[in-house]
Amino acid sequence: MRVFNFNAGPAALPIEVLEQVASEMLDWNGTGMSIMENSHRAKQVVAMAAETEELVKSLLNLGPEWSVLFCQGGASLQFAMVPLNFAPDGQLADFIDTGLWSTKAYQEAKQCGTQVHLAASSAQDDFTYIPTDYNFSRSPKYVYLTSNNTVRGTQWRNFPAQAPAPLIADLSSDFLSRRVDLSNFVLAFAGAQKNVGPAGLTVVLIKKDFAQTGKKGLPHMLDYRTYLDNGSMYNTPPVFAIYVASLVFKWIKAEGGLEVIEKFNQLKGKTLYDAIDGSSGFYRGTARADSRSLMNVTFRLLSEDLEKKFLEEAKTQGLTGLGGHRSVGGVRASLYNAVTQTAVESLTGFMAEFMKKNG
Question: DSSP string spanning 228-262?
Answer: HHTTT-SS---HHHHHHHHHHHHHHHHHT-HHHHH
Question: DSSP string spanning 84-108?
Answer: HHHS-TT-EEEEEE-SHHHHHHHHH
Beta bridge partners of 320: 5
- Are the C-beta atoms of 97 and 120 separated by less than 8 Å? yes
Mention every residue, 6+ apart, whose C-beta is less than 8 A from residue 280: none
Calculated CA dihedral for residues 68, 69, 75, 81, nearest 10 degrees: -120
Question: DSSP string spanning 13-49?
Answer: --HHHHHHHHHTSSSSTTSSS-TTTS-TTSHHHHHHH
Alpha-carbon span 31 to 47, nearest angstrom:
14
227-232: list long-range contacts, CB under 8 Å, 24+ apart: 227/69, 227/70, 227/71, 228/67, 228/69, 231/46, 231/49, 231/50, 232/49, 232/69, 232/70, 232/71
- Of 234, 226, 246, nearest in space to 44 by CA: 246
Amino acid identity, residue 303?
S
CA atoms within 13 A on the CB side of 308: 3
Calculated CA dihedral for residues 168, 169, 175, 177, nearest 10 degrees: -100
Alpha-carbon span 232 to 51, nearest angstrom:
13
Mention every residue, 6+ apart, whose C-beta is less than 8 A from residue 286: 128, 152, 153, 298, 299, 300, 328, 330
Residues annotated catalytic, as ranges: 101, 170, 194
